[in-house]
Amino acid sequence: MAPLSSALKRATRASGFQLSTILTSENVQVIVGEEGREFTIARELLASCSPYFRDRLDATAVLKQQNAQFNILWLEDQDPEMFELFTYWLHQRHNRSIDARKDFRAILDDSVRNDYAEELQWDLINLHLFAANVIEVPALQDDAMDAVQDLHLMCNWDISSQLVRHVYVDCDADASCRLRKWIVAMTAWTLGGGFERPGTAQQMHDLFEGCPDFWRDYVAHISKISKSRVRIATKNPQLRLPSNNLRNEERQFGFRQCSFHTHRSIVKQGRCPHVKAQLLQREQQRQRPAALALRSPVSDADSSESEFESTYGVRDKLSPRSTIFELYLGMP
């Protein structure tokens, strides 16, 4: 079994979440990649995630198999490992007992321990692009972007030339705009702070020549930073502070919570919308036992149906993990 598959299974078991609680309605069989890897997902869950899936499911064929009804959906152009991460995120997102901040943290930790962090990085980047360019799910874009930042901080990585070329040459500019913004910020921090490893300066020079858009974005970023009177040497783009309203000293060494999120231009210095959603969810959970106590008794079947509808009625409730702040401060 691949390391990522094993890690996802361990994380799912540790959360106490059972996939079988979801697969109780009409199912969808998703065939992913050239090798045709199969994933089975509840139709309501997949359709509620994105109009992309909802529209395709409405038009797809139906296959009768062993008294179960399967909608068959083909995604030949997508990567199975990336899609496995997506299904994990989708199931966790709709399980109300899961703390959204921990969605990918267990996977990141496992990848570092078991030496597949580099592969996971590419899966997360592909997941971010899949969310941005294919299914258009902002919450997933932001969660994947947070995880990429966290992984780079945990592994103490520089930005690789392979990543720069992939994002600036192979990827759509609009879909990869947040990755580009982060790559440029990382490059400025590395070069401006004297943290580069031997050969980094020449490598970046070659990249600037080979990727004109990269150079243009870098110059624009340096100009903006210089006007803000912030020292590039200390402003670490891997450090995501748990706020958008930063004090002067905080602005010197970290980035706002939503600096690389889809809603950055809207939220400004306000609270991250994903955090608001999570706080509302927790409040609803606290009120739910009292509300249930006032209800008349229901049958097991009615209770199961109500739980199912409640689970799938929740959409895109994401909170970025602010634990990276504590991780940074605890590093030697």
DSSP character at residue 26 = S
Q: How many CB atoms lie within 10 A of CB 201?
A: 12
Query: Residue 246 maps to which CATH number?
Result: 3.30.710.10
Q: Does some domain include residue 293? A: no
Across 281-304, average pLDDT: 47
**Residue at 295 is within a domain:** no
pLDDT at 249: 60
pTM for this entry: 0.74
5 SS3 class: helix
Q: Is 80 exceeded by the pLDDT of residue 6?
A: no
In a domain, 265, yes or no: yes
Is 304 domain-assigned? no
Does residue 39 lie within any of the structural domains? yes
168 or 69: which leads in pLDDT: 168
For 13-36, what is the mean pLDDT? 67
The DSSP H or E segment spanning 222 is helix 212-227
Q: Is the pLDDT of residue 76 over 70?
A: yes
**Backbone torsions φ then ψ of 32, nearest 5 degrees:** -120, 135
Task: Classify each residue of 261-299 as buried b or exposed e, where b means 16 or more C-beta atoms within 10 Å of its C-beta.
Answer: bbebeebeeeebbbbebbeeeeeeeeeeeeeeeeeeeee
- Tally the domains of the chain: 1
Give domain status of residue 310, yes or no. Answer: no
Question: Which residues span the domain enclosing 176?
Answer: 3-274+317-329
Q: Is 23 part of any domain? A: yes
Arithmetic mean of pLDDT over the chain? 74
Half-sphere exposure of 42 (CA within 13 A, CB side): 19
Average pLDDT, integer, range 228-253 = 69
Higher pLDDT, residue 324 or 33: 33
Query: Is the model more confident about 270 or about 330?
Result: 270
Over the stretch 49-68, which tens digit does the pLDDT of each residue have?
999 999 998 887 666 565 56
For residue 261, is it within any domain? yes
| Confidence band, pLDDT 50/70/90 cuts, at residue 12 | low
